Amino acid sequence: MADFMQALDPAKLIFVETVLAFTISPFTVPAYNLPIFLFGSYVQESSDAAQSLNLFAGLLSASVLYDIVWMFNNEQAVFLRLLTVVLFLLKLPTTGAFLIAMSQRGRQFPGLDVVHTITVWSMPGGFTSGGRDGYQTVEEDTPRAPSNVTSVPPSQPVNQSGNYQSV
């Protein structure tokens, strides 16, 4: 399901929903759909509007619930009811696509903060603290003792034949 959501293009979904909401707006339909989708088309185009993206995802999610309540409380012609249901069904993958886009832009979901582990980077073979050898993971409280294994290179036979060494 997540692969399906990642494959969706949020710009095309917002465009289709904006056109559909604009088309049915003169009739008896929820009045909040067109402004939400116009705001979504603005947010989708602006790559640095992380807070606006968060707001749009929240508004779109809330409008799904409002659509259900609105459809139970109001009468519509059959064709308008069909278009309202289509608009409602298109909101579900759009909400998922924008939540994925929000997580890809680095925003966390509000209220759903997950405990993250801290990543400690170190350069292999250099600049270690305390003179220890190797890595220290985040879970370790005290540094490991340096390893006592030392590598001694094998002794080379001394070449007696002159200045050049033969291989």
Q: pLDDT by residue (tens digit) across 136-159?
A: 566 666 655 555 656 666 666 655
pTM over 0.85? The answer is: no
Q: Give the pLDDT band (50/70/90) at residue 64.
A: very high
Q: What is the mean pLDDT of residues 1-23?
A: 84
Q: Note the pLDDT of residue 38.
A: 94
Q: What is the mean pLDDT of residues 11-23?
A: 93
The two three-digit tokens of residue 81, written as one number: 């009811």
Mean pLDDT of the chain: 77
The reported pLDDT for the residue numbered 52 is 86
Q: Are 58 and 36 in contact (CB under 8 A)?
A: no
**Can you read off the two tokens belonging to residue 118?**
């801290």
- Contact between residue 54 and residue 46 where contact means Cβ atoms under 8 Å apart: no
Contacts of 28 (CB under 8 A, 6+ apart): 74, 75, 76, 77, 80
Greater model confidence, 127 or 58: 58
Which region among 28-37, 68-77, 123-132 has the lowest average model confidence (pLDDT)?
123-132
Pairwise CA distance, residues 123 & 88, whole Å: 52
Confidence check: pLDDT of 116 > 60: no
Quote the tokens at residue 6: 């990642």
